[in-house]
Structure formats: C-alpha cells, structure tokens
Structure 1
Amino acid sequence: MTLSPNSAFALDQVTIHEIDGLYSLNDLHQASGGKSNHKPAFFLRNKQTTALIAEIQVTNSQLALKVTHGGECRGTFACRELVIAYAAWISPAFHLKVIRVFLDASAAATAPDTTASPEPTASIDVRGQLLTGQIAPTVPCPTDLKNAIDKRAWILAGEAFELIRAHLFRRAAYSGECGTPRTLDVEKAMSAIMRGDLGDALALEFEEKLANMRHALTFYLHLGNELLKEMDRVRAS
C-alpha cells in the first residue's frame, strides 16, 4: 500500500509533511535554509543522535525513524523528539522556531472548545431536598399545631422571598450590565431572570465554582505537558 504524506504544519513557508506521527526531516532541512552541512544524513550519523534514537525506542516503545524510498513519501521521517533534536543541531534560532510550533499545536489541542454548546446547568431538586428523609403525616394534625405550621411557613416564605429577590437582582446585573461607564441591557437582564427555576438559582454558585475548576484543570494540564516536553528537550540535548 502506498502511503500519502499529510501536511502537518508550515515553517518559514515550507510545508512539513507527516506520516503516522513522523515528520519529514527533508522538509525541515529545506525550511532551515537547505545548507549542505545540515542534511539529515549527517545528523543521523552523529553518535549522540544514535544514542537518542535508541533511548526513544526503549522508553517510548515507538518508531523513532523511518526512511522511505520512492513515491510521495520519499525521505526521512522522524518522531517529534528527534525533530526537535535535529532543529537544535542545526541552530538555536531554528530550534526555537520548531519548539514554538509544537507548543502552539499542544496549546490548541488542550484548549477548551469554546464553540461547543454549553452543558445545561445542573439544577437542585428543591422539593426533594425539603421532603427527603421526612414521613408523610398519617395522624390528623391538631388545629393549634396546624396554625403554628402555617405561621412558621409564612415566616420562612418571607425569608425565601427576600433571598430570591436579591438573587434575581444579582442575576440581572450579572447578565445585563456591560460597558464603561456601566449600563444595563434590559433585554438581556429580563431574559436572565426568566430562565430556570428555584433549583437553578440554588445551583448557580456551585456551577460557577465547577466551571472555574474545569478551566484551572485545563490550564495545569497544558502546563504539565509543556514541562514534560522541556524535560525531553533537556534530556536529548
């Protein structure tokens, strides 16, 4: 079967082709300026390069290098670690360019998808929270107890009203206020206060904290990937 190379990225207007996760050293040589003393063959004869290839294949159990003859795939294709080492062998400036290309690709892969539709906010089942663990009355309620319950319910309802009212004012401000100086978009504010139910209101703070945690996790995952790459680069140099 004849393989066709994919266009992985462009470097100084030169397309770097890729096959099965391996990148064309011939394309990289061209992107670096094409000097004869920078040909991939010279780099691959280097003892340090030979040791690096062996280490990559032992630690990662992956194909570090592939040489193909004929067809569209003609040339030498290398794994990412070997590509970075090749760039460092050519020059510090070219090394930096290649590192930045891979860092940008990693950042794009780990960045959150802002185009996806947001997941619906989890709602709290207020009725379930209030009634779970209680038992339904099986004995007639005396009049004085019923009156006391009604009175207490009105007091609690008043407290709930004030809290819900304050929440709706805050929701309207959060969704509708914008600009400098601050102005209120009444249409957005009206839309915000009409959405959801009491359970949504109670879950709002929890959902915001969860979203902040997701963003932080994405950031630290990206940072960890960059640190691992830097460790690989130092080990290869």
Structure 2
Amino acid sequence: MNKLYLKIRPEGSGNFQPALTTSKGMHPMSAAKKLISTNSTSLTILTTAIRQDAQGRYCLNDCHKASGNEASKRPGVWMDNAQTKALITELTDAGIPASPSETDAGIPTSPVSSIKGGTNQGTYVAKELVYAYAMWISPAFHLKVIRAFDAMMQVSSTVEATPVLPKTYAQALLAAAHAEQERERLAGENAVLAPKAEALDKLATLDGVHNLRSAAQQCGWPEKIFISRLMELKWLYSHTVSGRKLAYADKVKAGLIEVKNVEVKRTGYVEGVGQPMITQKGLSQLRILLGTYIAPGKSAPVPFSRPKEAAS
C-alpha cells in the first residue's frame, strides 16, 4: 500500500510549494514539521508563551524570560554547570521520547538543540531539562513550571477530544498522513481478524454438537489427521486400555466438548461409553486453530465441505 508523503519542490523562481508524493524519500510528518521549523505551544509560564522547535523541545530562553530575566540565571550559565552536563549525558545515553516525526524518520531526538540566528534563535531542551532548569532558578519558579505543564496537559486533553478542521495546507497534509496511518493500522487488524470471521461465518448455520467424524468434515480435515491434531492440542487423549478417544476435562468445562453416553454392544452385554462431541463453540475455535487443510503435494486448499448426518 502506498503511503502519503510530503515533498518540497520549487515552483517558479524562489517559491516553494508543498505537494503530496508516494516517494520513499521523506515521511509526511517529518516534511510538514520542516515547513514550520518552530511553533508556539500552549505551554505558558507567568504569561510568557514558551516556544517549541520541530522536535518538541522547549525554549530555555523563554523560560528565562518568564523567570525574570536575571543575568545570573541565563541558560548558558546553567548549561555550564557540571550537574547539568551530567543530566544531559544521562538523557542522551538513556534516550528520551522522540516526536512522531523523528520516530518515523528513524532519527533519535537529542535532549538539547541550539538555533543560531533568526527570530527563533535560542536553546531548546527536553521537558526533563526544563524542570531541572526551573529548579536551579528557584523553588518558587520550579513550582510554577510544574503547574504550567499540568495546565497544558489538561488543555491538550480537551483539545484532542474536539475535532478541528485544518487551517493551513501543511495542517491538511498532516491530517491526511494521520488518516493514512490509521487506515493502514485498521487494514492490519482486518488481516488478522479475517480468518476468525470466516470461521464463524462458515459455522454460523450449523446446529448442535458433532462427533469426531462430523467435526472433521466441518473443519475440512481428514478424520484421522483431525483427531491426531486434537490430541496434539490436548483436546483428546487415548484410554490406556481400550484406546478410545476421551476428552480432557478442561475442554469439557470450557464448553468446547460435550461427552455423550452411548451404548456399545459387546459379546453377551452392552457397555455404556462416553463419546466426545465437539460443540459449536469448539468448532469455531478449531477452525481458527487448525486453519485450512492442504493435502500433501497440493498448493490449493481443500474446499470447505458440508457434513453428512452426524452419527448418533
């Protein structure tokens, strides 16, 4: 199945127009993020909006501004701290959660990134480092940062529950990419569930319980091979003396097999024996467990067959 991709290609002189493509060169999530290198976020600390870069890191310069812009508390001073360097090393070694775009592109997210020049210049760090920076500034500011993140998460939960129409072309591309990923996920689930649905559909019109011969016919398997498979699956076992096939107690308790008492004529007497009978529930599970029987040397599966009258 082709995936949606975003490709940036020149249109005319110096202008760039984003376009959909099925090229494997770039994932739409990564490409759309590149259209907007930084974006504002709902994280606000003491009325100061904290910017984020394309990988979701937070701007320490904005946090410094929110704390009061004290020169001794600049991000650069904190970054030179030995404890800060140790924390960055720990995050780098352990790995931090990557944004969707980075995960799809197979690129790990660094905990620290710097943008030099332009309107979005500054030092951008992972959330864990924002907490650590705020704690370094003061306990009071640390508490304000914690509460700001909590408020952002509450707003985010509310926004996610309300569908929003895309306002820009880049947002529309991102929405299309999400929709394509969801379709692929559902297609994968359908591929797994289809055999189960087929098994239930084929058994839906059958009634009652079935002896082993009838059950084998219902599942499309030769009787002897069918019984052997049931013994392998621990549904049946052979009596040590008579060799008769008996049902395991747990399968009877689960409603997969019923035991029907039948009379067998012996020389001079009649013996009552328990005959295992496969229930509808059992047949449904067996169709899934066994799948379709393919005869040796055959490539095409043996067609599903209707049974003859079940023996009493």
TM-score, with structure 1 as normaliser: 0.45
Q: Which protein has greater RCO, CA pairs closer than 8 Å, 6+ apart? A: 1
Larger radius of gyration, structure 1 or 2? 2
Q: Which has the higher helix share?
A: 1
